[in-house]
Chains A and B, each alone.
Chain A
Amino acid sequence: MQWRAALVAGLVVLAGLSGSPAGGPLRAAGAASRLTLPPSPLSEDERVLHALNRLGFGSRPSDLARVKAMGLAAYLDGQLHPDPKPDPALADALAAYSVLDATTAQLVRDYPQPSAEMRQRLASGDMTRRELREALPPGRRPAVITAQMQAAAVTRAVLSDRQLEERLAAFWFNHFNVFSQKGAVRWMVPAYEREAIRPHVLGNFRDLLLATARHPAMLFYLDNWMSTRADRVRPPGLISPAPALPRLAGRAMGLNENYARELMELHTLGVDGGYTQQDVTEVARCFTGWTIDRPRAGGGYVFRPRAHDDGIKRVLGHEISAGAGERDGERVIDILVRHPSTARFISTKLARHFVQDDPPRALVERMAATFRTTDGDLRAVMTTLIISPEFWSREAYRAKIKTPFDVVVSAVRALDGRLIVSPGRGAIPAGGGLELAREVGRLGQPLYEAQPPTGYPDRAESWVNTGALLGRMNFALALAYNRFRGAPVPLDALLGPVDRGEPGEVLDRLLTAVLHGAATPQTRAVLAAQLESPEITRTTADDRVTRDTDAAKLAALVLGSPEFQRR
């Protein structure tokens, strides 16, 4: 029995690897079929900008010409089949973020939680804050892990040429959200994104789903690690030798439905996908025993047969026979992946993210059909989306409101900003990535810190409110006036030879570089009217009137404009 389970597990691991080699999906040699794009009412420039804004994080000043030169179809083909070779410039920019490549066990060791004893001594006044800082300096605290992840996420989105891959990584992390501040999850997030999410974003949905189901981060976040058959009592010392959890010994355990419910409601079928409370309970029974080996010490996934409910289950009309152990959970995943509700739910979410808040039903149905016929090939589903007339329609153009992450990253890209990493103190990376990531948090979207399993919302209403808009305008001012020391924006280079004494020309150049003609006539008129204001043009003291346009203010106004809040 034991060896069989091990063999099955090994085969599954091999199967998982063959589907998605490390470093990203490979592109079969010679299979670079050019995409055929449908006719579109959009102009050529609009189409290129649409691709850059929708499939990526906005355009850099040189992107429009570059993509036009290589051809839009070739660009999109490259985005769908990203080069598996690492990008050296990006690798350099990420080098400071050591947690990206670290195992969970390493992180638990390098960034330990202050011990219960330490916290107790601190609370009782037995230890001063200063003594704590000496014993455990801020650079060795677990908060460093999340800070580095946040900074790296911004850095990748700003710098990576594989823009679609980055956007999909953010999308799928959000779909399979875990909250970095819940217990041991904080040490698991780097491995989760690296191992469970990124390898599969253009791969197969079943691999992605299984990778998340087995990952300690998900097992911990949605409590499946402590779900056992209903009659189980935790024997003293058996499951958790970690001193952090002595109180669990001897306590009655039982079924925890948290993961089972979210697996169907949020990860696959959708809330109206046709499951019942009975299905939730049965799925939870199937996943009993899927747990974590030493959760507080960075251990990996382990199946514990003694915690598993080995009875017969019935899930969504399928009977799962007794005695299959670990394979129960895999059966559930197969049933869910092939359920028509899953194809529709996943297609709807992708179309909402990439096309419109309320995506056209016909498009969703075509994507769902691709999902079903390819058994969940996510690259094929994305291809269906990208070659659809709906994607290139006037209705979809600039129809999405940017999230705070989108706003910050696209603003830096629009002004051709750089990211500087300075050594910082200890393991806390200072610099542009972190400054901008904190700004994303202030604007209401702290990365890796969405508490609910739904992740962050993907509709305009959630991001447009008075406080939030003020925040965006203030961010625009801070960026344009180079208040982020680690993310300088080279306005002079952007303006190039434009005569600073001609505010109209400065404005035109900024509108072209940042909004690419998307400014409404009213916006252009409002901004042109601003040029008359003495605040925009400084006058020198001598008789000769030389004007020096305040390009930073104009840039801030453009970045804070309604047009720039859309993508």
Chain B
Amino acid sequence: MLPRTRRSFMKQGALALVAIGAVPGFVVRTARAQSRAARSKVLVVIFQRGAVDGLSMLVPHGDADYYGARGSIAIARPATGEGAIDLDGFFGLHPSLSALKPLWDERRLAAIHACGSPDATRSHFDAQDYMESGTPGVKSTEDGWLARGLAAMPGTAASPFRAVALGPALPRVLRGDAGAVAMTSLAEFDIRDAAAIAGGLDASRGFESLYEQGVRDLLYGTGRETFDAVKMLKAAAPQRLQPGNGAVYPRGRFGDSLRQIAQLIRADVGLEVAFADVGGWDTHAAQGNERGQLALRLKEFGDGLAALDRDLGERMRDVVVLTMSEFGRTVRENGNRGTDHGHGTAMFVIGGAAKGGTVHGRWPGLSRERLHEGRDLAVTTDFRSLFTEVTVRHLGMPAGPLFPGFKNAAYPGVIA
């Protein structure tokens, strides 16, 4: 009696375990929530740390000033065959992002250009901080905007895997009261099998008993959650799920992160928000054009996102992927065949809920008088508008706590 789908197995399997009273609370709650309600919505956030060159990633080949400003790093016009992949006669994808073109054609890939922060800082660390705290210009904010949104979501069955960041530390955006988990790998989210250390000892039970004491405080509470999470993960065993539909992830940390996010989604552990980051975008020298340094990074980026989409298949109806980067890069090529820190950049929204096949936002143009401080792509869409629309309309988060003090919440229209 092979279960028809992994999900129905999970539901039945978990409920069966509930019947014999051997399952932690979270599994019970999640299994019940799933048997009651439909599948939950998931947001996958990808942070391109280091400031991606939006003008090479999403090329405004129709802008009269693009080729004049960019010199050797320009991405050739689509007509040349090797150049940008035309999207709408004005914008084109970097040729390394060819894996994303089918998503555009199916109208499941939306893009927004000239997006960014109202704060003009060109410091990576300040700008990342602002994009994660959600309070541009204010550094004393302690929590992240996604954590605030999750904490304010009404009536959710709080799974320990509600918010997961792939990586060693919890990113700023998920710090706060969301109960978010950081993990480097699903396989290692466990008490390291002490058998590997010294002859057949299971320390896990010992630790678990220590934290099971009836003390109500942060430490004991978190300890109990930890073991609930470990057990839930063991029961769901998401790491055993092979990528679906023949999806092949690029090698490396980014591909690994996306593959594991897909596993968590497919195993129905109650994931609502997943986070992964990918670096290598700070191309001050030898940036390259259709080929080269940036092209290699974009290939990994596009192939990874396409693999995630393929792996999840029809489940992508409930999933939205949102990409972001702290700022863009200078319009002009610098003296080292690279680009320096700029302002506006491009971001992607992928999934069934995306209003795809469109480059959203208002294009400010690249002529000198239109540039921010005479050198950078201006910002015409505040990142807070984009993030608010995606989280409110897709996940149903309340807008209030996300971006304190932000009044201009007109949506750019990326969610259908």
B153 at the interface (CB under 8 A from A): no
B309 at the interface (CB under 8 A from A): no
- From known contacts A123-B293, A262-B139, A466-B226, infer whether A557 and B203 are also in contact, taking CB-CB under 8 Å: yes
Decide: B213 and A465 in contact? CB cutoff 8 A. no
A556 at the interface (CB under 8 A from B): yes
Closest chain-B Cβ to A553's Cβ sits at a distance in Å of 5
- From known contacts A477-B194, A483-B197, A550-B201, infer whether A467 and B210 are also in contact, taking CB-CB under 8 Å: no
Classify chain A: how many residues form its interface, as a range: 35 or more
Q: What residue in chain B is nearest A562 (Cβ atoms)?
A: B219
Docked complex Cα distance between A530 and B199 (Å): 16
A461 at the interface (CB under 8 A from B): yes
Decide: A467 and B340 in contact? CB cutoff 8 A. no
Docked complex Cα distance between A557 and B205 (Å): 10
Docked complex Cα distance between A223 and B210 (Å): 48
Decide: B206 and A553 in contact? CB cutoff 8 A. yes
Task: Tell me the interface secondary structure of chain A in the complex.
Answer: helix
Q: Give every chain B residue within 8 A of A557 (Cβ-Cβ).
A: 203, 206-207, 210
- From known contacts A464-B218, A467-B183, A562-B219, infer whether A179 and B210 are also in contact, taking CB-CB under 8 Å: no
Docked complex Cα distance between A384 and B285 (Å): 54
A71 at the interface (CB under 8 A from B): no
Decide: A467 and B181 in contact? CB cutoff 8 A. yes
Tell which of A262, A453, A464 has the most Cβ of chain B within 10 Å: A464
A119 at the interface (CB under 8 A from B): yes
Decide: B181 and A123 in contact? CB cutoff 8 A. no
- From known contacts A124-B292, A470-B189, infer whether A565 and B219 are also in contact, taking CB-CB under 8 Å: yes
Interface residues of B in 196-217 (CB under 8 A from A): 197-203, 206-207, 209-215
Chain B: how many interface residues by the 8 Å CB criterion? Answer: 62
Q: Give every chain B residue within 8 A of A483 (Cβ-Cβ).
A: 197
Q: Which of A452, A520, A529 is within 8 Å of B139, CB to CB? A: A452
Q: What residue in chain B is nearest A442 (Cβ atoms)?
A: B168
Q: Give every chain B residue within 8 A of A478 (Cβ-Cβ).
A: 192, 197
Q: Give every chain B residue within 8 A of A120 (Cβ-Cβ).
A: 285-286, 336-337
Contact bitstring B171-201, A, C-beta under 8 A = 1, else 0: 0100100011111000001111010011111
B311 at the interface (CB under 8 A from A): no
Q: Give every chain B residue within 8 A of A529 (Cβ-Cβ).
A: 209
Interface residues of A in 527-567 (CB under 8 A from B): 527, 529-530, 535-536, 538, 550, 552-553, 556-557, 560-562, 565-566
A512 at the interface (CB under 8 A from B): no
- From known contacts A265-B139, A465-B182, A467-B183, infer whether A182 and B125 are also in contact, taking CB-CB under 8 Å: yes
B229 at the interface (CB under 8 A from A): yes
Decide: A444 and B168 in contact? CB cutoff 8 A. yes
Decide: A477 and B192 in contact? CB cutoff 8 A. yes
Decide: B192 and A526 in contact? CB cutoff 8 A. no
B126 at the interface (CB under 8 A from A): yes
Decide: A460 and B218 in contact? CB cutoff 8 A. yes
Contact bitstring B103-140, A, C-beta under 8 A = 1, else 0: 00000000000000000010111101100000000011
A457 at the interface (CB under 8 A from B): yes
Q: Give every chain A residue within 8 A of B198 (Cβ-Cβ).
A: 481, 550, 552-553
- From known contacts A470-B230, A557-B210, A562-B219, infer whether A535 and B285 are also in contact, taking CB-CB under 8 Å: no
Closest chain-B Cβ to A395's Cβ sits at a distance in Å of 14
Closest chain-A Cβ to B173's Cβ sits at a distance in Å of 13
Closest chain-B Cβ to A398's Cβ sits at a distance in Å of 11
Q: Give every chain B residue within 8 A of A453 (Cβ-Cβ).
A: 139
Decide: A451 and B125 in contact? CB cutoff 8 A. yes
Q: What residue in chain B is nearest A454 (Cβ atoms)?
A: B139
A258 at the interface (CB under 8 A from B): yes
Closest chain-B Cβ to A136's Cβ sits at a distance in Å of 16
- From known contacts A247-B340, A452-B125, infer whether A562 and B220 are also in contact, taking CB-CB under 8 Å: yes
A31 at the interface (CB under 8 A from B): no
Tell which of A451, A470, A527, A552 has the most Cβ of chain B within 10 Å: A470
Closest chain-B Cβ to A242's Cβ sits at a distance in Å of 14
Interface residues of B in 265-312 (CB under 8 A from A): 284-286, 288, 292-293
Q: Which of A265, A401, A461 is within 8 Å of B140, CB to CB? A: A265
Between A and B, 13 residue pairs with Cβ closer than 8 Å are A123-B285, A182-B125, A247-B340, A258-B121, A401-B218, A444-B169, A465-B170, A465-B181, A465-B222, A477-B194, A530-B209, A536-B201, A550-B201
10 additional contacts (CB under 8 A) given A468-B182, A474-B191, A535-B200: A182-B124, A247-B340, A258-B126, A444-B169, A460-B219, A470-B190, A522-B213, A527-B210, A553-B194, A562-B220
